[in-house]
Amino acid sequence: MKTLVVGISGVTNGGKTTLAKKLQKQLPSCSVISQDDYFKPESEIKIDENGFLQYDELEALNMEILMSAVYSWMKNPRNSLESDDLESAEEVPILIIEGFLLYTYNTRVYEPPDPPGYFDGHVWPMYLKHRKEIEDITRNIVYLDGTKSEEDLFTRVCDDLTEERAKQKCLQITPKVPSSSTSGIL
């Protein structure tokens, strides 16, 4: 079965979960796994010299458990879907994995506010560190402009996913042509 796995990453509190949930509502056969659901207990999170819990480090996450959830979905995506409608059953299943590791500097205001200096002293440097690591990976990564509106970003990603799903669906139903070494009539 063809599936489509998509990662949405970016700076902490940059809108990843909002985008993922909105896409899930819009796209049939779409599941979301949020990295925030896999943090270790607070007692296992390192504290830096300023007294800040280091949630923006990979070591703060139970990545083995998260990856187990991803592999479980990949083995049986239909079991993970919440919808039983016919349209969903015919679509290539999509898994969106969203997490904090990269991409856009954004100074959003949220409650409760971070302690003074936390974003500039910890969140942003960790973002730059992780982004540098990702830039060295040669995969099909689309970087979004965090200065664009939420609706513009949603439309771009939704259109890209719809297009990719259509490609996957075509690949799934294209009949296999025997190779030239096979005897017989085509």
Q: Which positions are catalytic?
A: 36
Per DSSP, the three-state class of 34 is: strand
Bond preceding residue 115 cis, omega within 30 of 0:
no
Q: Are 55 and 119 in contact (CB under 8 A)?
A: no
Cα 175 to Cα 172: distance, rounded to the nearest angstrom: 8
Residue 129 has phi, psi (to 5 degrees) of: -60, -50
Residue 104 has phi, psi (to 5 degrees) of: -125, 135
